[in-house]
Amino acid sequence: MDTVLYDRADHKYVLLGFADSPDEKSVPSNQYMIVHNDTTVLMDPGGFTLFPVLVARVLKYTKMENIKAILLSHQDPDVNGGLSVWEKVTNAKIYISKLWVRFIPHYEIRNTKNIIGINDGDTEIIMNDDFKITLIPAHFLHSCGQFNYYDSVSKILFTGDIGASVLPCSGNSLFIEDFEEFLPCIEPFHTRYMSCNKALRKWIKYIESYDIDIIAPQHGYLIKGEVKDKFIRWLYDLKCGVDLI
């Protein structure tokens, strides 16, 4: 399933894949794409088995040669497993926390000069004169080097594993509708995989200054409106990780 989450003549934000691989069992992943004129950005393109279906969807909106960047939230194989194939069909720069740069060649990446390490103090990736991606640190949630990516045009924040839900769960289809009903879908994952409440509050402080319409996680349903506010309040008080040892 591909869904356009934001649509303007010169700018589209596309949910490129939503729980499409049966091989992923209970942890299906989402893939996203931003198309700004002739510049295209992929986010967490996922595993090898997803590549054929994702390419067909990419070509509905853009050309392969327009893919200029692949943004990776962290180091996991559900994020990067198919990276070697994307590298062969594009000349995209691959962005990931500098902590994980030395891991990327293990995904059989041969053109390592295209791997760009994101420093902890970096604030944005300039794609061209009128298009940039804002970097939001999300360290220790759950990866010690995770970055979120904010698009100020669509006001969509890609959050990686923050907000991830284990599917199938509840009667939702794309966006969470009833947060209280949905809690069992996200609480076990967040209490185990997020490192501590201090890291969550640090992340919340980062995102407070941004106008966010949609939170788009790497797994499960998307979050917007009143549910978004409830989710952030829930995270603010959540005890997790080392808080529970």
Closest CA to 111 of 93, 131, 138: 93
Query: Cα Rg for the chain, rounded, in angstroms?
Result: 17
Using CA atoms, how far apart are residues 161 and 126, in angstroms rounded to an integer? Answer: 24
- Res 146: pLDDT: 95
The stretch 83-98 carries a mean pLDDT of 92
pLDDT digits 0-9 by tens, 48-90: 888 888 999 999 999 999 999 999 999 888 788 888 899 889 9
pLDDT of residue 51: 86
pTM: 0.93
What pLDDT does 78 receive?
79
Please give the Cα distance from 161 to 29 (Å, whole number).
10
The count of other CB atoms within 10 Å of the CB of residue 75 is 20
What's the pLDDT score for residue 27?
58
More confident residue, 109 or 54: 54
Determine the pLDDT at residue 240: 98
What average pLDDT does the segment 197-222 reach? 96
Q: What is the C-alpha separation between 77 and 1, in angstroms, rounded?
A: 21
Q: How do residues 166-209 score in pLDDT, each as one tens digit?
A: 766 666 678 998 999 889 989 999 999 999 999 999 999 999 99
Extents of the domains making up the chain: 3-116+132-244
The residues near 167 (Cβ < 8 Å, ≥ 6 apart) are 19, 26, 27, 28, 185, 219, 220, 221
pLDDT digits (tens, 9 = 90+) for 6-31: 999 999 999 998 765 555 554 578 99
Evaluate if residue 40 carries a pLDDT over 50. Answer: yes
Residue 26: per-residue pLDDT: 47
pLDDT for 19 = 63
Q: Is 1.10.510.10 the CATH classification of the domain at 3-116+132-244?
A: no
pLDDT at 112 over 50: yes
pLDDT, one tens digit per residue, over 124-160 is 999 998 999 999 999 999 999 999 999 999 999 999 9
